Structure 1
Amino acid sequence: MSNNLQETTFAVTTLGCKVNQADSEAISDQMNAAGFAQRDFEESADIYIVNTCTVTHLGDRSSRQLIAQAHRRHPDALLVVTGCYAELNPQAVSALPGVNMVIGNTVKDELVSTIREKILTQGANEEQAIVTESDNTSILRRSLPVLPLDTQHIGSDNALNFDVQEEEPQPENPARLTPFTDNTQTSELANNRLFSRTRVQMKVQDGCDNRCTYCIVPYVRGKSRSRSIEAVVENVQRKARAGYQEIVLTGIHLGDYHPDEDEKLDLGDLIATLLRETEIPRIRVSSLEPEDFQLEWLEMWADPRMCRHLHLPMQSGSDAILRRMARRYNSERYRTIVQTAKRMVPGMAISTDIITGFPGETDEDFELTYQLAQELEFAKSHVFRFSPRQGTPAARMRGQIKDMDKKARSQRLLDLHEEHSRLFREQFLGQSVPVLIEQFKHGKWEGLTDNYIRVEVADLPENADGWQHTVVKARLNTLIGDGVYGTYVE
């Protein structure tokens, strides 16, 4: 590998949530700004950066598979692993063949400078480095422990008496809190590879103070912290000048956005400021927890720049199961939010997450979930079978559900999702709507409406610069797969 950074290539791949995607975009921005040359992950590169996920055991496995792929593709490359799996279990990651560096979430903002220093001083095949709070404190700015894993319900509802089995090992390296740094402050984007995404995943919040009993994420992301409104506005303005058409506000617990110490400001204040002080054409809000959602926020969706899409994880329609999950809302509160959003914002797409087979879920509990999903008619449902995550209270609860029952319940919800997805898209057939073109795939241009309908757009005229990153009007004609076929309208 050359010590000349401009001759050194890198590739980034990402698993997991939109926050991880935002982190990877920031890493790519920084690597390009530092002088490295970006390649696709499927290509040969001098440096591979794998941003991992650990939300389930499948995330761990997929992370290991991507690490192995990179090592096979170029055994002599510098292989850097970061993200939640790297934070949770750095020793296991460091033992994987080919891994040169392991960088936890809490020091992810030091990733590019660490790579740069290693290349300039050592090269790729020198001694392996594990860069996490527990192994290298020299690059840390602050270190505060998160709450330990336990079975305590932190919410304001009644405490839970969990029926748990014997103790099992805790996560090896739970995350610690570092300041919320702005790792996306880079120059205007000029590199075409950087401009491969039409929508910018903009992380405005990180970490989580909730302790849902099935979730490992708070222990690999640290406590909740937020970027200042001023920093977000500046970054959105920069992205708008660079030609981006849409930003997606993301966070591990986005609804807990509070940039001030006394928590007087919230997500609504951020959105209102962005609408007032920036000219970005579209603003999309990613996942929001129901307990955080304020109905008055819906008034901001009267602005056509606000994308008519809300992702509100339901998880269960049974209040008993919601309590066992340590969720901070009940089914009636959830119903009110969804119904109000649909009433106040015509055409609003509501998507959700649902877990089937949570420990203790009876047939009656599942029927409550099914009935609520049937009533609310989600535009999109992500259905997950409960997977015990080592180190979480739910993994030790009694009443674990048989796999065959989880599968059967999931299939019923998936069948319902297919029906509701079709009904949601059908109501827009015959309408002409704005579509943000994202990619040219299989000989056709594809894009998204503001309410998250994927559209294949035909009859676009020749354009020397292509249509990517452009908002066009398309008439929605017929359903295809999970999207819609449309034709260009001048």
Structure 2
Amino acid sequence: MNEQQRKQASQIKQVDPTDIKSDQDSNLERIQSIDSDELIGKYFQATYEPPNMKKAKKRLKKDVDVHYDFSIPKEMQNIGKDKKFLIRTYGCQMNEHDTEVMAGLLTDMGYQSTDDTNEADVILLNTCAIRENAENKVFGEIGHLKPLKLEKPDLIIGVCGCMSQEESVVNRILQKHHFIDMIFGTHNIHRLPSLLKEAMFSKAMVMEVWSKEGDIIENLPKVRKGKIKGWVNIMYGCDKFCTYCIVPYTRGKERSRMPEDIIQEVRQLAAAGYKEITLLGQNVNAYGKDLEFEYGLGQLMEEISKIDIPRVRFTTSHPRDFDDRLIEVLAQGGNLLDHIHLPVQSGSSEVLRVMARRYTREEYLVLVDKIRKAMPNATLTTDIIVGFPNETDEQFEDTMTLMEEVGFESAYTYIYSPREGTPSAKWEDNIPMEVKKERLQRLNALVNKQSAEAMKKYEGQTVKVLVEGESKKNPDVLSGYTERNKLVNFKAPNSVIGKIIEVKIIKAKTWSLDGELVEKAVEVN
């Protein structure tokens, strides 16, 4: 948003500060009587730009700048003294990482974190737009927060993340949930202190959503969860425009961080004692394609392999960008782990074409063969959508046979649901729900079978486990993950939490392993 737009936004708020939310009941009636397009145009045009497909596909790489000069505005540095915040996070690891940044910003403003909704002075819902189910959960939570807002008028409630950049979502909030104080997108998280200031001192709903991607802001504070695993964002956005996916519109074009900034962050995490990092990106192995010099994920991973940190992962990959250089570097082993999540989405070349995945079943299998030859023991996992528009029984069978042929050890499986704003949302969703559910059930049975078979091979083996803490189901049991991302539960003293230790597997289950601590076990790398 340019300076002129900001002035327009300010003028709009000054004109009708009480129109949006003064008297809650009368305001709701007034808003519901206004056409949503009129509402957006009249009150939020200066601050709200819904994603636009034509503009998105024409966007240029050169529009992105890198900034190293971020700071909390002086007037907001202690605004949260004796106050608390709560952030609810939905969706992917990228959302989790965004939450770490927002928690860092709020902490630098003096706020303290809380898990108790009733204690919070600021509540942010960091949302996901990938699946309809995630959207329903968010609106359910918004409904639950309304009585609390009526009880505590000074409570600030914000909706942020990917959902906030969907026009239909914004319209729904404006018409039915006018007690929300802030709506902001994924590109302007660094603006949270200023947006919070506006929400606190203005009676208008504060909305700032940009369809144009934000710049890369390098020195944002973060509050990370724990001291064992760390997320490191290496790039933002996606340029693939799969016909079912909203991400290119909510997250914007691919923007890579500079290698030296990433490497410095990884070194800092290593110095702080972190045992594992995961490099993040919506399309992580497209890293570097937008840089003005030749540099890709393979080169970055090679540099990071030299840093003294035991485990390095990355997610999520696109098969089109998984190049030979990356395979070569991963095959060197060391701290670069050979658990590879490689979403295929469908086993049918025809469905893949309509999805705009830009590879065929055969090309995917060639890639898998390359990975297997370089890393014979690599674990492959995937994502699969069933019931895509016009998917035939034969095309679904192609997915089942691909699942078996590759030997995926796990898969995230989904029933197709149209996301407004994507090309496929305009098509007839012509697969009956009972057919979708039957296909999903069959696919999940196969996934479970292959997972159980893969787990069975671990019985009797001794594996290295990064111990994360107490099991969610039993506080007397500790849990952690192997190098190939298998969950292991075992009994051991709490002193091993945060360490990599040896555990002997005594029993395999479908999705986890039971083990026992190797006697006189010491931390291993």
By the TM > 0.5 criterion, same fold?
Answer: yes
- How many aligned residue pairs are there? 433
Q: Does 1:11 align with 2:102?
A: no
**Shift, 1:293, TM fit:** 0.2
The 2-side partners of 1:110 and 1:29 are apart by 13
The 2-side partners of 1:184 and 1:455 are apart by 35
Matches within 5 A, 1:326-405: 326-398=356-428, 400-405=430-435
**Which residue does the alignment assign to 1:280?**
309
The 1-side partners of 2:215 and 2:432 are apart by 43
Contact 2:465 2:503 in 1 (8 A): yes
**Which residue does the alignment assign to 1:144?**
none
**Which residue does the alignment assign to 1:51?**
126
Which digits, 9 at most, give the CA deviation of each residue in 1:369-394, with x for residues without a partner?
11111111111111111112222221
**Which residue does the alignment assign to 2:286?**
256
**Which residue does the alignment assign to 2:488?**
455
User: Which runs of no fewer than 5 residues in structure 2 stay unpaired?
Assistant: 1-77
The 2-side partners of 1:14 and 1:63 are apart by 10
Matches within 5 A, 1:216-235: 216-235=246-265
Residue 93 of structure 1, aligned match among 159, 173, 181:
173
Which digits, 9 at most, give the CA deviation of each residue in 1:188-230, with x for residues without a partner?
x7xxxx4436322221111111111111111111111111111
**Which residue does the alignment assign to 2:215?**
179
Contact 1:94 1:130 in 2 (8 A): no
* Larger deviation, residues 204-213 vs 300-309: 300-309
Contact 1:227 1:259 in 2 (8 A): no
**Which residue does the alignment assign to 1:131?**
208
The 2-side partners of 1:280 and 1:417 are apart by 32
Matches within 5 A, 1:405-484: 405-441=435-471, 442-443=474-475, 444-458=477-491, 460-461=492-493, 463=495, 467-484=496-513
- Root-mean-square deviation (CA, aligned residues, Å) is 2.3
The 1-side partners of 2:494 and 2:127 are apart by 39
Contact 1:41 1:48 in 2 (8 A): no
* Larger deviation, residues 29-38 vs 445-454: 29-38
Contact 2:467 2:481 in 1 (8 A): yes
User: What TM-score does the superposition give when structure 2 sets the normalisation length?
Assistant: 0.77
Q: Does 1:104 align with 2:185?
A: yes
The 1-side partners of 2:116 and 2:380 are apart by 33
SS of equivalent to 2:294: coil
SS of equivalent to 2:91: coil
SS of equivalent to 1:177: coil
**Which residue does the alignment assign to 2:143?**
68
The 1-side partners of 2:500 and 2:310 are apart by 9
Structure number with higher helix proportion: 2
Contact 1:446 1:454 in 2 (8 A): yes
242 and 177 in structure 1: CA distance in 2 versus 1, 3 angstrom threshold: same
Matches within 5 A, 1:130-149: 130-133=207-210
71 and 452 in structure 1: CA distance in 2 versus 1, 3 angstrom threshold: farther
Contact 2:347 2:402 in 1 (8 A): yes
Q: Does 1:289 align with 2:312?
A: no
The 1-side partners of 2:514 and 2:147 are apart by 39
21 and 354 in structure 1: CA distance in 2 versus 1, 3 angstrom threshold: same
Which digits, 9 at most, give the CA deviation of each residue in 1:316-370, with x for residues without a partner?
1111111111111111121122233234224322110111111121111111111
**Shift, 1:294, TM fit:** 1.1
The 1-side partners of 2:422 and 2:377 are apart by 38
470 and 393 in structure 1: CA distance in 2 versus 1, 3 angstrom threshold: same
Which digits, 9 at most, give the CA deviation of each residue in 1:397-441, with x for residues without a partner?
347211111111111110000011011112222121111112213
Equivalent AA in structure 2 for residue 461 of structure 1: P
SS of equivalent to 1:106: coil
The 1-side partners of 2:482 and 2:148 are apart by 37
Residue 204 of structure 1, aligned match among 231, 234, 248:
234
Contact 1:94 1:101 in 2 (8 A): no
Contact 2:277 2:313 in 1 (8 A): yes
**Which residue does the alignment assign to 2:514?**
485
Determine which structure has more spread, i.e. the larger CA radius of gyration. Answer: 2
310 and 51 in structure 1: CA distance in 2 versus 1, 3 angstrom threshold: same
8 and 399 in structure 1: CA distance in 2 versus 1, 3 angstrom threshold: closer
Which digits, 9 at most, give the CA deviation of each residue in 1:41-62, with x for residues without a partner?
6563111111001112222211
The 2-side partners of 1:106 and 1:80 are apart by 15
The 1-side partners of 2:93 and 2:351 are apart by 27
The 2-side partners of 1:488 and 1:304 are apart by 24
SS of equivalent to 1:209: coil
User: Which runs of no fewer than 5 residues in structure 1 stay unpaired?
Assistant: 134-174
Q: Does 1:82 align with 2:160?
A: yes
Residue 104 of structure 2, aligned match among 12, 29, 37:
29
The 2-side partners of 1:454 and 1:62 are apart by 27
**Shift, 1:97, TM fit:** 5.2
87 and 434 in structure 1: CA distance in 2 versus 1, 3 angstrom threshold: same
